[in-house]
Amino acid sequence: MSVITRFPLVNSNAVYSAALLALAALLTLVTPTQVWAHTSLTASAPANGQTVTAVNQLNLEFGAPLRLMSVSLKDDAGQDVALNFKRSNTAKARFVVPTNAPLAAASYQVFWMGMGDDGHKIEGNFSFIVNPTAVAVTTAPTTE
């Protein structure tokens, strides 16, 4: 009668756990944060904080498609400025919202609100200045 004794070099459960931990760590490193968080405005024209000489439309670009539910524009006197905005029925990442007329010289705030794929509300705002006599200043796209 022989006694067979196994001397595993490593415990297979330990290897499995270590592999899972390594995989989890790798996924954390390579997965963009957008997967976990709601999308947001990645760029706009005019850009946040930008001074421009003229504006007849607002361009909004998001990190992932959403349904844009509302966009409103206020000047520095708190007055609503008319936009030709139409609520989107399909999710898109880029939107162009024309103004009803070229914007007068003032500073402006844009408030936007969208609906993500999971039905959650996402909102934000950005501001810019219209100054027809300004030398156009370019700024990096906003990350807000």
Q: Which is nearer to Cu ion, 58 or 66 (CB)?
A: 66
Distances (CA, A) of 136 to 130, 131, 133: 10, 9, 9
Q: Which stretch binds Cu ion (CB under 5 A): 6-14, 17-25, 49-57, 113-121?
A: 113-121
Q: CB of residue 136 vs Cu ion: minimum separation in angstroms?
A: 38
Q: Find the helix or strand (DSSP H, E) in which 16 lies.
A: helix 12-30
CA dist 50 and 110 (Å) reads 13
Nearest to 57 by CA among 117, 130, 121: 130
| 7/36 with CB nearer Cu ion | 36
CB of 46 to Cu ion, least distance (A): 28
- The 10 Å Cβ neighbour count of residue 98 is 11
Q: Which of 118, 133, 135, 138 binds Cu ion (CB under 5 A)?
A: 118
Question: Counting contacts by CB under 5 A, is residue 120 touching Cu ion?
Answer: yes
Question: Which of the stretches 12-20, 67-75, 91-99, 112-120 binds Cu ion when contact is defined by CB under 5 A?
Answer: 112-120
H-helix segments, 48-123:
none
Query: How many Å apart are CA 114 and CA 88, to the nearest integer?
Result: 9
Closest distance to Cu ion from the beta carbon of 29 (Å): 23
* 87 near Cu ion (CB under 5 A): no
Interface residues with Cu ion (CB under 5 A) are 118, 120
